[in-house]
Amino acid sequence: MNKSELKARLSDLQWKVTQKGGTERPFQNEYNDCKDSGTYHCICCDQPLFHSEAKYDSGTGWPSFFQPVNEQAVGEKSDRSLFLRPRTEIVCGQCEAHLGHVFEDGPQPTGLRYCMNSAALDLHRD
């Protein structure tokens, strides 16, 4: 799918988040409090990204996961957009859509917090 077709299919917020590296508002997004079982997919290319079993309440206001479905599901990029300190951006492993960031303050077994934007995700419920 080319960029113009993708832009026509996505909402303005989904486009801003996935294609422009934006961030949605905390606590006011579709999946923050979602407890439904299923697999979260990339809103752009439908790549499976995270299982609901890896989702937890991080208290940040965004859906958070301690691991992706597999190592190829997501990619990492250095993000120096904030002056405070460098962050690690998480992108879709297939289409490189911006998903969110990963931090090293998550629960075991990984100790990671994949802090994602709901606008970049589509939950395929079981």
What residues are annotated to the active site?
A: 115
By the 10 Å C-beta count (0-12 exposed, 13-18 middle, 19+ buried), 27 is classed as: exposed
> Measured in Å, how far apart are the chain's first and last C-alpha atoms?
27
CB atoms within 10 A of CB 1: 11
Residues 120, 42 contacting (CB under 8 angstroms) = yes
Q: How do beta strands 74-79 and 38-42 pair? A: unpaired
CA-CA distance, 68 to 85, in Å (whole number)?
24
